[in-house]
Protein backbone atom coordinates (compact mmCIF):
# COMPACT_ATOMS: atom_id res chain seq x y z
CA UNK A 1 0.00 0.00 0.00
CA UNK A 2 1.22 3.45 -0.85
CA UNK A 3 0.15 6.66 0.78
CA UNK A 4 -0.31 9.81 -1.31
CA UNK A 5 -1.30 13.37 -0.54
CA UNK A 6 -3.63 14.98 -3.11
CA UNK A 7 -5.17 18.43 -3.42
CA UNK A 8 -8.88 18.70 -4.31
CA UNK A 9 -10.18 22.23 -4.69
CA UNK A 10 -7.25 23.46 -2.64
CA UNK A 11 -7.99 21.05 0.23
CA UNK A 12 -5.24 18.47 1.02
CA UNK A 13 -6.26 14.81 1.51
CA UNK A 14 -4.26 11.71 2.30
CA UNK A 15 -5.18 8.61 0.32
CA UNK A 16 -3.94 5.06 0.57
CA UNK A 17 -3.69 3.08 -2.67
CA UNK A 18 -3.30 -0.68 -2.81
CA UNK A 19 -1.38 -2.18 -5.73
CA UNK A 20 -3.31 -5.08 -7.25
CA UNK A 21 -1.40 -7.80 -9.12
CA UNK A 22 -4.42 -9.96 -10.11
CA UNK A 23 -7.38 -7.99 -11.48
CA UNK A 24 -9.72 -11.00 -11.71
CA UNK A 25 -10.39 -11.12 -7.96
CA UNK A 26 -12.82 -9.06 -5.89
CA UNK A 27 -12.02 -5.47 -5.06
CA UNK A 28 -11.21 -4.89 -1.41
CA UNK A 29 -11.82 -1.74 0.54
CA UNK A 30 -9.52 -0.52 3.31
CA UNK A 31 -10.56 -1.33 6.86
CA UNK A 32 -9.99 2.22 8.01
CA UNK A 33 -9.58 5.34 5.92
CA UNK A 34 -6.52 7.53 6.33
CA UNK A 35 -7.01 10.62 8.49
CA UNK A 36 -8.64 13.41 6.53
CA UNK A 37 -10.28 16.73 7.38
CA UNK A 38 -13.86 16.61 8.63
CA UNK A 39 -15.13 18.44 5.53
CA UNK A 40 -14.65 15.50 3.09
CA UNK A 41 -16.93 13.25 5.17
CA UNK A 42 -19.93 15.49 4.54
CA UNK A 43 -19.58 15.50 0.70
CA UNK A 44 -19.21 11.71 0.73
CA UNK A 45 -22.43 11.40 2.72
CA UNK A 46 -24.18 13.84 0.38
CA UNK A 47 -22.93 11.92 -2.66
CA UNK A 48 -24.36 8.66 -1.30
CA UNK A 49 -27.78 10.17 -0.57
CA UNK A 50 -28.82 11.01 -4.18
CA UNK A 51 -28.12 7.47 -5.43
CA UNK A 52 -30.80 5.74 -3.34
CA UNK A 53 -33.34 8.50 -4.05
CA UNK A 54 -33.98 7.56 -7.74
CA UNK A 55 -34.39 3.85 -6.95
CA UNK A 56 -37.66 4.09 -5.01
CA UNK A 57 -39.19 6.44 -7.57
CA UNK A 58 -41.89 4.33 -9.18
CA UNK A 59 -44.18 7.36 -8.98
CA UNK A 60 -47.26 5.57 -10.26
CA UNK A 61 -46.44 2.31 -8.53
CA UNK A 62 -48.13 0.60 -5.64
CA UNK A 63 -45.01 -1.50 -5.17
CA UNK A 64 -46.06 -4.22 -7.66
CA UNK A 65 -44.66 -4.44 -11.15
CA UNK A 66 -41.39 -4.31 -13.00
CA UNK A 67 -39.66 -0.96 -13.23
CA UNK A 68 -37.57 0.00 -16.24
CA UNK A 69 -34.67 2.12 -14.97
CA UNK A 70 -32.51 4.39 -17.12
CA UNK A 71 -29.32 2.45 -17.87
CA UNK A 72 -27.39 5.70 -18.37
CA UNK A 73 -27.95 9.45 -18.19
CA UNK A 74 -29.57 10.90 -21.29
CA UNK A 75 -32.58 12.55 -22.91
CA UNK A 76 -35.81 10.85 -23.90
CA UNK A 77 -36.23 11.22 -27.69
CA UNK A 78 -39.37 9.15 -28.21
CA UNK A 79 -41.81 7.06 -26.20
CA UNK A 80 -43.09 4.08 -28.21
CA UNK A 81 -45.79 2.87 -25.78
CA UNK A 82 -48.79 4.26 -23.88
CA UNK A 83 -50.23 3.44 -20.46
CA UNK A 84 -52.40 0.34 -20.84
CA UNK A 85 -50.48 -1.10 -23.81
CA UNK A 86 -49.51 -4.78 -23.67
CA UNK A 87 -45.81 -5.42 -24.25
CA UNK A 88 -43.70 -8.53 -24.64
CA UNK A 89 -40.19 -9.01 -23.33
CA UNK A 90 -37.79 -7.31 -25.75
CA UNK A 91 -40.30 -4.80 -27.20
CA UNK A 92 -38.93 -1.27 -27.65
CA UNK A 93 -40.41 1.03 -25.00
CA UNK A 94 -38.58 4.28 -25.68
CA UNK A 95 -35.56 5.83 -27.34
CA UNK A 96 -32.93 7.37 -25.05
CA UNK A 97 -30.24 9.64 -26.45
CA UNK A 98 -26.95 9.35 -24.60
CA UNK A 99 -23.58 10.58 -25.81
CA UNK A 100 -25.12 11.50 -29.20
CA UNK A 101 -26.30 7.91 -29.73
CA UNK A 102 -29.89 6.72 -29.89
CA UNK A 103 -30.43 3.74 -27.57
CA UNK A 104 -33.51 1.54 -27.73
CA UNK A 105 -34.75 0.75 -24.23
CA UNK A 106 -36.52 -2.59 -24.33
CA UNK A 107 -38.99 -4.27 -22.01
CA UNK A 108 -37.37 -6.60 -19.45
CA UNK A 109 -40.65 -8.51 -19.04
CA UNK A 110 -44.03 -9.10 -20.63
CA UNK A 111 -47.01 -7.25 -19.20
CA UNK A 112 -49.10 -4.10 -19.37
CA UNK A 113 -47.68 -0.58 -19.14
CA UNK A 114 -48.79 0.68 -15.73
CA UNK A 115 -46.99 4.06 -15.62
CA UNK A 116 -44.75 6.25 -17.77
CA UNK A 117 -42.69 8.51 -15.52
CA UNK A 118 -40.91 10.47 -18.30
CA UNK A 119 -41.88 12.61 -21.25
CA UNK A 120 -40.24 13.38 -24.58
CA UNK A 121 -37.37 15.79 -24.00
CA UNK A 122 -36.96 14.84 -20.33
CA UNK A 123 -33.48 14.29 -18.97
CA UNK A 124 -32.91 11.15 -16.87
CA UNK A 125 -30.10 9.97 -14.65
CA UNK A 126 -28.84 6.42 -14.29
CA UNK A 127 -31.31 4.41 -12.25
CA UNK A 128 -34.30 6.75 -12.66
CA UNK A 129 -37.48 4.72 -13.15
CA UNK A 130 -38.81 5.58 -16.59
CA UNK A 131 -41.61 3.04 -17.06
CA UNK A 132 -43.44 0.57 -14.80
CA UNK A 133 -44.78 -2.68 -16.27
CA UNK A 134 -47.36 -4.75 -14.39
Which pLDDT value is given to residue 5? Answer: 85
Which pLDDT value is given to residue 45? Answer: 44
Tens of pLDDT along 72-127? 999 999 999 999 999 999 999 999 999 889 999 999 999 999 999 999 999 999 99
111: left (phi over 0), alpha (psi -120 to 50) or beta: left
Fold observed for domain 66-133: OB fold (Dihydrolipoamide Acetyltransferase, E2P) (2.40.50)
Tens of pLDDT along 44-75? 444 444 443 334 433 444 456 899 999 999 99
Tally DSSP H helices, then E strands, for the chain. Answer: 1, 10
Q: In terms of pLDDT, which residue wins out, 95 or 12?
A: 95
Give domain limits for the chain: 2-48, 66-133
Amino acid sequence: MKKYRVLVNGQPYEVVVEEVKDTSGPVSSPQQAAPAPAAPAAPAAKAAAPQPAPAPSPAGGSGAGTSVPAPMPGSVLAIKVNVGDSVSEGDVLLILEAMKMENEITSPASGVIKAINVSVGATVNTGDTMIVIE
